[in-house]
Structure 1
Amino acid sequence: MSIGYACLNIGTPNTNIRSVMPRNANPEKLTEVTAHNLDALEKMVDYNIANDIRLYRISSDLIPFGSSPVNTLNWPQIHKEAFERIGAKIKKSGMRVALHPGQYTVLNSSTEDVVERAITDLLYHDKILTALGTDTTNKIVLHVGGIYGDKEAALERFAKNFQSLPESVQKRLIIENDDRLYNIEDVLKLANRLQIPAVYDNLHHAINPPPSGGNDQYWIAEAKNTWKETDGNQKIHYSQQATGKRPGAHTDTILLETFLQFYDQLDDPTIDIMLEVKDKNLSAIKCQNAITATPRPVLLEKEWGRYKYAILERSPAIYQAIRTLLKDKEVYPVQEFYRLIDTAFDEEIHPGCAENAAAHVWGYFKKNATDTERIQYEKNLTNYRNDTGTLATLKRQLFKLSEKYKVDYLVQSLYFYLD
């Protein structure tokens, strides 16, 4: 079993995906931004390998204007070395990657121009996976699309247009139940007809179940039948409903107790679970640590090293409670550890606590800091205390000092990334 996350990484420097304005989309700028994005992707792949994450969804924005006539560059060839290097890391680590075109990629549209653009976009996504040298277990996830007043006709159009896709795209395409139009029963009928995998989404099912009913366990088992050996392990999407928000809105983080209730009902220990959640890789590691077959206190200690100053500026009491919790090296209190972290993030940052946390961080390099850096730190701290400056300004200085003095422990601290 692998647990993964989608697109963006929290807490790893220089992993932002850049875009280009149409007016600036000249060959030089497109090449520059693509190179940056591939470098960001490589850093995220390296992070995943270091943290034993073997499932990852690549951003569709990797190549600026990748499926648009605006970008006429032969970007797979221009960046061949980077693609091959990243692809080699993916394959060697046993990682499985995917892409998920957005809502405007509608293969069953009643408008021919929309269908043509959808096909072009699918070709672009396939080109990325091909440039990386990945096999057909690395997928492109797509929703069925719209209904346009006639569901059966819309399904027929999807099937017809699917047949016009190149074989390489057909072998990668998997279809997902959505939260409004096509429930899991609809998707399974289409998947069985086309002999392609169906990916089950638990939250979409909760919002848009078929009239026949059926729980997660039942439909996951039904969807499993659509996955062939050449497709790899069955993959599902898992998310949780954000309280007080529109149906389908994802939570900021995965609540571990709820996830474990879901996990415990799974029959297949090899299934891959893609998390859809706002804190991305942080929830992936949380869930991974909770179900690991080899629980080791060092896993939680590593996590604590990244979280602790973000906790300290919110709740010194919880900070101390977690320190106490981790003292006993004979136990693995994973659920209580993350419960305390989640509780702390429900609290606002208190100015006095924020000053205390900043002082702890400053302590890592105050002996090496120049007089100018010390004066600037004291000024930023005073301005924040007097409400004439911001905590963000203070943290920016501390982050720059962490980089300058090569305190990697701090550069990777979530203190700088979680507001």
Structure 2
Amino acid sequence: MAIGYACITIGVEGTKVSRCIIGNATLDNLRKITNNNLAALMAAIDYNIAKGIKLYRISSDIIPFGSHPVNKLLWWDEYGEKLLEIGQKIADSGMRVSMHPGQYTVLNSTKPEVVNNAVSDLIYHTKFLDALGVNESNKLILHIGGVYGDKEKSAEVFKSNYLKLPDNIKARMVIENDDKNYTLEDALCISRVLDIPVIFDNLHNKLNPSHEKLSEKEWIDICASTWKGKDGVQKIHYSQQKTGAAAGSHSETIYIEEFMEFYNNLNDKSIDIMLEVKDKNISCVKCINSTCDKTSIKDIEEEWAKYKYFVLSRSAKVYQEVRELLKDKKVMNIIEFYRKIELALHMPEDKGAEINAAQHVWGYLGKNCKEAEKRRFNRLIKDYTENGKGLKSIKSHLLKCAEAQNVEYLKNSYYFFI
């Protein structure tokens, strides 16, 4: 089994993808952004390899305006060597990647221009995966699209337009049930005609259930039959509903007890699980550590080093409870460790705890800071103490100081990112 995350790598230096508006999409600017984004992708891949993450969704924005006529670069040629280098690293590590065109890539639209743009977008995404040199198990995920007052007719339009696509696109494409229009039953009906793999999405299935009432593991097993050898291991999407938010909103983190209940109920533990969650790689590492037999005490201690100042900023009590939990070097209750982290995540902002954590971080930095940096920190703390505002400014200042001093221990702390 591989557990992965989508696009954004949180708290990892050099992984941020850049964008621009169409008015600034000059050839020079497009080249500058492409260079930056390919370096960012390489950094994300390196991070994934270091963390044992074998599943990753690549951002559609790596090539700016990749499917738009404004981008006249022959990027697949100009950056061909760099793309193949990245692709070789992906293949050598056993990682599997994917891409997921956005909501405006609608293959069954009633508007010809929308369909044409969708085909252009699919050509771009497929060309990018092809340029990496990765095999056909590295997929391109698409929703079926709109209903337009007649679901059966719209499904037929999707089938018709799919069959017109170039073979290299069809070789990579998979379809997914969505949260409003097309259920798993609908996707499976299309799959039977087109011989295309189906991705099971658990949250979409809850929000838009099929008429036939089957359990999640039964639906997953049915979807498994749509994945052939060339498609690679079956892949599913997993997410949790954000409490109090609009239906379909992804949670801030993957809550580990709920995930483990889902995981333990699977008939086939070899399938790949793509997490769709706001804290991205942070939840990914959590789920890998919680399901992997090889997770060590050292792995959890490394996790704690990243979480500790955030937990301290919410509750000194929970901070001490985690420290006590980690004292036993022979037996590690990984689920309990993450449960305590999640308890801290749910706690409201506490001014005293936040100041305490900030002062602890400053204790590592202050002695090597310039006088102007010290004055700024003291001023920010005073402002926050008196009016409760400016916490983000305090953290931003501390992170800048950590980066200036190249303190890896602090630069990698989740305190600055969650």
TM-score normalised by structure 2 residue count: 0.97
Counting only pairs closer than 5 Å after superposition, residues 2-401 of structure 1 correspond to structure 2 as: 2-387=2-387, 390-401=390-401
CA deviations on 1:49-86 (whole Å, 9 max, x unpaired) are 11111001111122111111111111122222321221
Structure 1 residue 345 displacement after superposition: 1.1
Aligned residues of 1:295 and 1:332 also touching (Cα < 8 A): no
- Percent identity over the alignment is 47
Structure 1 residue 122 displacement after superposition: 0.2
CA deviations on 1:21-48 (whole Å, 9 max, x unpaired) are 1111110111111111111111111111
Query: How many residues of Structure 1 are paired with residues of Structure 2 in the alignment?
Result: 418
Aligned residues of 1:380 and 1:389 also touching (Cα < 8 A): no
Q: Which shifted more, 321-330 or 374-383?
A: 374-383
Q: Point out where structure 2 has 5 or more consecutive residues left out of the alignment.
A: none
SS of structure 2 residue aligned to 1:367: helix
Give the Cα separation in 2 of the matches to 1:388 and 1:328: 38
SS of structure 1 residue aligned to 2:400: helix
SS of structure 1 residue aligned to 2:140: strand
Give the Cα separation in 2 of the matches to 1:38 and 1:312: 36
Letter of the structure 2 residue corresponding to residue 184 of structure 1: L
Q: Which shifted more, 246-255 or 196-205?
A: 246-255
Structure 1 residue 99 displacement after superposition: 0.5
Aligned residues of 2:10 and 2:417 also touching (Cα < 8 A): yes
Aligned residues of 1:141 and 1:175 also touching (Cα < 8 A): yes
SS of structure 1 residue aligned to 2:199: strand
Give the Cα separation in 1 of the matches to 2:322 and 2:303: 11
When the two chains are superposed, the root-mean-square deviation of aligned CA atoms in Å is 1.4
Structure 1 residue 388 displacement after superposition: 8.5
CA deviations on 1:108-153 (whole Å, 9 max, x unpaired) are 1222221111110000100111111111000000011112222222
Structure 1 residue 363 displacement after superposition: 1.8
Give the Cα separation in 1 of the matches to 2:392 and 2:201: 37
Structure 1 residue 255 displacement after superposition: 1.2
Aligned residues of 2:56 and 2:95 also touching (Cα < 8 A): yes
CA deviations on 1:371-417 (whole Å, 9 max, x unpaired) are 34333333332333233862222222221221122210111111111
Give the Cα separation in 2 of the matches to 1:185 and 1:389: 50
Aligned residues of 1:184 and 1:200 also touching (Cα < 8 A): yes
Structure 1 residue 88 displacement after superposition: 1.7
Q: Cα gap change, 1:250/1:389 in structure 2, threshold over 3 Å: closer, same or farther?
A: closer
Structure 1 residue 256 displacement after superposition: 1.0
SS of structure 2 residue aligned to 1:65: coil
SS of structure 2 residue aligned to 1:97: strand
SS of structure 2 residue aligned to 1:36: helix
Q: Cα gap change, 1:389/1:241 in structure 2, threshold over 3 Å: closer, same or farther?
A: closer
Aligned residues of 2:351 and 2:388 also touching (Cα < 8 A): no
Give the Cα separation in 2 of the matches to 1:78 and 1:387: 53
SS of structure 1 residue aligned to 2:387: coil
CA deviations on 1:250-283 (whole Å, 9 max, x unpaired) are 1111111111111111111210000111111111
Aligned residues of 2:178 and 2:208 also touching (Cα < 8 A): yes
The equivalent of 2:416 in structure 1 is 416
Give the Cα separation in 2 of the matches to 1:179 and 1:388: 40
Give the Cα separation in 2 of the matches to 1:364 and 1:88: 40
Give the Cα separation in 2 of the matches to 1:148 and 1:405: 57
Aligned residues of 1:83 and 1:132 also touching (Cα < 8 A): yes
TM-score normalised by structure 1 residue count: 0.96
Letter of the structure 2 residue corresponding to residue 264 of structure 1: N
Aligned residues of 1:203 and 1:238 also touching (Cα < 8 A): yes
Q: Which shifted more, 173-182 or 109-118?
A: 109-118
Structure 1 residue 200 displacement after superposition: 0.5
Q: Point out where structure 1 has 5 or more consecutive residues left out of the alignment.
A: none
Structure 1 residue 297 displacement after superposition: 1.3
